Amino acid sequence: MAASLTFLLGIRYPIIQAPMVGVSTPELAAAVSNAGGLGSIGIGACDVPAARRMIEETRALTGQPFNVNLFCHRPAVADAAREAAWLQHLRPLFEEFGATPPAALAEIYTSFVVDEAMLALLLELRPAVASFHFGLPPTPWIAALREAGVVTLACATTPAEAARIEDAGVDAIVAQGAEAGGHRGVFEPEHGDACIGTLALVRLIAGGTRRPVIAAGGIMDGAGIAAAMALGAAGAQLGTAFVLSPESAANQAYRDALSGPRAQHTAITSAISGRPARGLINRMHSEVGVPGAPRAPDYPIAYDAGKALNAAASAAGSDQFAAQWAGQGAALARALPAAELIDVLVREWQQAGVP
């Protein structure tokens, strides 16, 4: 199982560092790839020039394969009334920090599914691996990436999404359990989120596909990797486990929160970005994304508001409105350099005694 994935990806260990836009860096991805895992960078929040820079920076730091992650959400539908209601909902919080909400909100990221220039960049630069989150790009694009020698991965939160990924010709499936930190990969969140736990999800998906399955969600150590492999996964993806690495872009407040008692409590909210995502519980969960709140604008329009509120709060010394994504295993995060963490994970995995 593991051999199928390591061969496919050209890596030594079937351990993937999750993309994590805002946290991952070329340094983190390269350190993981140089240590024998698969490092990832996320370009979902980049325009084409920034994506080019990030890929080239990573390439300058490693000759090993790495993964470039793309956001494949349905493009946002602007709705001035909904956005105004949301800003009104946030207004007292802005005022608490002596700020005013932005006058209007923008779709701050372009979805890859409509970004032909980004496809052209990938076909030009040909990273070893590209991964899709929130859905899938047009099927011909997946074929074009394959023809260019780019291995593709896509994230599934249900067996039905996994079947769509397999049908589209993607090479391997990331099974993202409900434990996972960051944005839920669910294709159509307006139809709900089954929140299937990693243990059940990997088993359900692995039994229904011949593609390699990569387990994600709550895996923090070699025991978790061993468990994933026992469930039939061919690899494991870890995100939160890498946030405290010195190579990550996490700021000090995020590191402090993840290293202390707040790491014991995570929850999923759509209030920060407009799409459900799991993070350390803060006032975005307890005061913004509450029952009776207006419906948040489409992702990523809501994120424009969330980032503005976080900027105002941060300027006043509060990290209570930050996106501090973390999975349910957060309390097990270790502050180790990425290469050392890979070594530890491999050793622990071997000690757990699973093939």
Smallest distance, its own copies to C-beta of residue 1, A: 11
Which of 52, 265, 295, 334 contacts its own copies by CB under 8 A? 265
Amino acid (one-letter) located at 121: L
**Is residue 195 at the binding interface for its own copies, with CB under 8 A as the rule?**
yes
> Interaction with its own copies in 213-232: which residues (CB under 8 A)?
217-221, 223-224, 226-232
**Is residue 275 at the binding interface for its own copies, with CB under 8 A as the rule?**
no
Check: CB of residue 131 under 8 Å from CB of residue 67.
yes
The SS3 of residue 251 is coil
Q: From the centroid of its chain, how far is CA 39?
A: 13
Beta strands in the chain (DSSP E): 15-17, 39-42, 66-71, 129-133, 151-156, 172-176, 182-183, 213-216, 235-238, 266-269, 277-280
Question: Could you tell me which residues are beta bridge partners of residue 235?
Answer: 214
Choose one: 33-41, 112-120, 172-180, 309-317; the region binding its own copies (CB under 8 A): 172-180
**Is residue 207 at the binding interface for its own copies, with CB under 8 A as the rule?**
yes
Name the residue nearer to its own copies (CB basis): 283 or 307.
Answer: 283
Q: From the centroid of its chain, how far is CA 141?
A: 21
Distance CA 226, CA 213 (A): 14
Which of 163, 244, 253, 331 contacts its own copies by CB under 8 A? 331
**Is residue 286 at the binding interface for its own copies, with CB under 8 A as the rule?**
no
Which of 203, 211, 262, 307 contacts its own copies by CB under 8 A? 203
Name the residue nearer to its own copies (CB basis): 249 or 352.
Answer: 352
260: number of Cβ within 10 Å: 11
**Is residue 328 at the binding interface for its own copies, with CB under 8 A as the rule?**
yes
**Is residue 326 at the binding interface for its own copies, with CB under 8 A as the rule?**
no
Distance CA 336, CA 131 (A): 25
**Is residue 198 at the binding interface for its own copies, with CB under 8 A as the rule?**
yes
**Is residue 196 at the binding interface for its own copies, with CB under 8 A as the rule?**
yes
DSSP state of 287: I
Name the residue nearer to its own copies (CB basis): 168 or 223.
Answer: 223
What number of chain residues touch its own copies (CB under 8 A)? 44
The SS3 of residue 204 is helix
Q: Which residue has the tokens 């909100």?
A: 105
> Which sign does the torsion angle of CA 205, 206, 212, 217 carry?
positive
Distance CA 307, CA 347 (A): 39
Question: Could you tell me which residues are beta bridge partners of residue 278?
Answer: 182, 268
- Which distant-in-sequence residues (6+ apart) come within 8 Å of 77 by Cβ? 298
**Is residue 177 at the binding interface for its own copies, with CB under 8 A as the rule?**
yes
Nearest to 208 by CA among 160, 250, 169: 160
Which of 49, 92, 149, 197 contacts its own copies by CB under 8 A? 197
Smallest distance, its own copies to C-beta of residue 176, A: 11
Smallest distance, its own copies to C-beta of residue 261, A: 11
Smallest distance, its own copies to C-beta of residue 158, A: 8
Choose one: 1-9, 139-147, 192-200, 307-315; the region binding its own copies (CB under 8 A): 192-200
The SS3 of residue 223 is helix
Smallest distance, its own copies to C-beta of residue 345, A: 13
Beta strands in 18-86 (DSSP E): 39-42, 66-71
**Is residue 194 at the binding interface for its own copies, with CB under 8 A as the rule?**
yes
Which of 199, 244, 249, 293 contacts its own copies by CB under 8 A? 199
Name the residue nearer to its own copies (CB basis): 221 or 304.
Answer: 221
Check: CB of residue 165 under 8 Å from CB of residue 145.
no
Which of 15, 30, 90, 178 contacts its own copies by CB under 8 A? 178
Name the residue nearer to its own copies (CB basis): 41 or 180.
Answer: 180
Judged by the rule CB under 8 A, the positions of this chain that interact with its own copies are: 159-160, 177-179, 194-201, 203-204, 207, 217-221, 223-224, 226-232, 264-267, 291, 327-329, 331-332, 352-355
